[in-house]
Amino acid sequence: MLNGKRRVVVTGMGGITPVGLSMPETWQSLLDGRSGVDYIDSFDASTLAVKFAAEVKGFDVNQYISRREAHRMDRFTQFAVVASMEALNMSGMQTPNGTAERAGVVIGNSVCGLRAVCSQLDVLEKEGARKISPILAPTMTSDAAGVQIALMFGFKGPNFSVSSACSSGSDAIGQGFLLIRHDEADMVLAGGTEAPLGPIGIAAFCAARALSTRNDNPQKASRPFDAGRDGFVMGEGASMMVLESLEHALARGATILAELVAYKATNDAFHLTQPSPEGEGAIRAMRGALDMAGMEPEEIGYVNAHGTSTLLNDRVETMAIKAVFGSHAYRMPVSATKSMTGHLLGATAALEAAVCVLAIDRGMVPPTINLEQPDPECDLDYVPHQARKVKVDAAMSNSLAFGGHNSMLVFRRYQ
């Protein structure tokens, strides 16, 4: 117990990402500075203004679950299920340890079953309403991933989805943290998942002028904090983590990767897509997270930046970090892994939270690649080009999303 509230620890993680089909493979790719961005090959993008994305390559769901089970899942649910399997396996649990009623699931996503909806719209237009799949309704909804995980693993505790655009994964982990902290659950499988890649997804963000159009060199397109950045790169994937109360983890002899000590969410209430010009909401979220953690800014050894590679986000986020951390901002490594993974929308913050845990556990900080000509207004240590060996005792994961959402998580070395 800490101030009458239960401590929350991370005991397992799993990932399906554009740079790896497991969390170890993803982590090694990030340390190697490998880009997962390339020309789209999962559908015909020839008529689109942007012809590249960060796709998950080589994913065969039938290697993990039966064809019948897979048929009842949209791609975003398949990602979440497989990532959850890995997270539970790492944690040493295949099913809830103890009472199933105390095991919860919280998953963040943004556009949910977009692929299934688009394919069925085509069926509706060509063949009529009678040909619509009977499983469309339960597979396209935002709770579909959590429902399938509960069915598969027998989790009977709180189960819901969180949608806050690009901070959804962070908010899902934060809500899982609060459930355990306030004794509503003993363990929660939390994270984010997204499969937005298709003509409508790319076209929509192109229309919003949010995507990079660097069609001549896709792997150089995601370039957070670089003066030549021109937008983000759409990606897909999932990242899940097992959260437990400290007592629950110790009772079963679990290996503890890190402690989750704070979560704070705010909103700018400023603009539909643009961040508050002075970073006011992000500043409040970072300060609130530090307050909840009972930590001074100087105790944070690494920040995984939201770092989207858009003109406004990178400048405003840098401004906010400097406002919160003062002179320590210049001594603290701040890297943007979206330079390699692209932007996984509702899953991206969950993956970046996992990166913070691994930075603490492994003593390494992944780089920001493609940072060739730093923007003068973005003047922090973004760990350019190469991973760095750093002893990290505490890390913050930043998420700033369309709609003015700001969500911050703080992880600390368990002791």
pLDDT in tens, 235-272: 999 999 999 999 999 999 999 999 999 999 999 999 98
Does 44 share its domain with 144? yes
**Tens digit of pLDDT for each residue in 77-112?**
999 999 999 999 999 987 666 689 999 999 999 998
Residue 327 within a domain: yes
Q: How much is the pLDDT for 154? A: 93
- CA-CA-CA-CA torsion for 24, 29, 30, 31, nearest 10 degrees? 90
pLDDT averaged over every residue in the chain:
95
Name the catalytic one among 112, 248, 343, 356. 343
Domain endpoint, select from 218, 251, 284: 251
Residues 6+ apart with CB under 8 A from 365: 302, 333, 335, 359, 383, 387, 388, 389, 390, 392
Alpha carbon of residue 71 to chain centroid: 25
Of 197, 179, 196, nearest to 188 by C-alpha is 179
Task: Report the CATH number at residue 219.
Answer: 3.40.47.10
Of 340, 38, 401, nearest to 214 by C-alpha is 38
Does 153 share its domain with 119? yes
Does 189 share its domain with 298? no
Residue 4 within a domain: no
Residue 338 in this model has a pLDDT that exceeds 70: yes
Residue 414 within a domain: no
Does 99 share its domain with 35? yes
**Tens digit of pLDDT for each residue in 256-312?**
999 999 999 999 999 988 888 889 999 999 999 999 999 999 999 999 999 999 999
Split into its structural domains, the chain has a count of 2
**Tens digit of pLDDT for each residue in 165-174?**
999 999 999 9
**Tens digit of pLDDT for each residue in 93-102?**
876 666 899 9
Distance of alpha carbon 131 from alpha carbon 150, whole angstroms: 29
Domain endpoint, select from 183, 217, 251: 251
Does 61 share its domain with 162? yes
385 counts as catalytic: no
Distance of alpha carbon 277 from alpha carbon 144, whole angstroms: 36
What does the block give as tokens for 87? 């997270």
Does 160 share its domain with 268? no
Q: How much is the pLDDT for 115? A: 80
Name the catalytic one among 118, 182, 271, 306. 306
Q: How much is the pLDDT for 98? A: 66
Please state the rounded mean pLDDT for residues 113-137.
Answer: 89
Please give the residue range of the domain that contains residue 344. 264-408
- CA-CA-CA-CA torsion for 50, 55, 60, 66, nearest 10 degrees? -80
Does 162 share its domain with 304? no
- pLDDT band for 3, please (50, 70, 90 cuts): low
- pLDDT band for 124, please (50, 70, 90 cuts): very high
Residue 415 within a domain: no
- Cβ-based burial of 306 (10 A; exposed 0-12, middle 13-18, buried ≥19): buried
Residue 76 within a domain: yes
Please state the rounded mean pLDDT for residues 187-214.
Answer: 96
405 counts as catalytic: no
State residue 39 phi and psi, 5-degree precision: -65, 140
**Tens digit of pLDDT for each residue in 398-409?**
999 999 999 999
Q: How much is the pLDDT for 114? A: 82
Residue 2 in this model has a pLDDT that exceeds 90: no
Does 379 share its domain with 294? yes
328 counts as catalytic: no
Distance of alpha carbon 264 from alpha carbon 338, whole angstroms: 22
Does 67 share its domain with 201? yes
Name the catalytic one among 71, 112, 118, 166. 166
Identity of the amino acid at 266: T
Does 306 share its domain with 171? no
Q: How much is the pLDDT for 94? A: 72
Domain endpoint, select from 251, 281, 314: 251
What does the block give as tokens for 371? 């940072």
Does 13 share its domain with 95? yes
- pLDDT band for 117, please (50, 70, 90 cuts): confident
Residue 154 within a domain: yes
Q: How much is the pLDDT for 300? A: 98
Does 19 share its domain with 154? yes
Residue 334 within a domain: yes
Residue 3 within a domain: no
Q: How much is the pLDDT for 1? A: 57
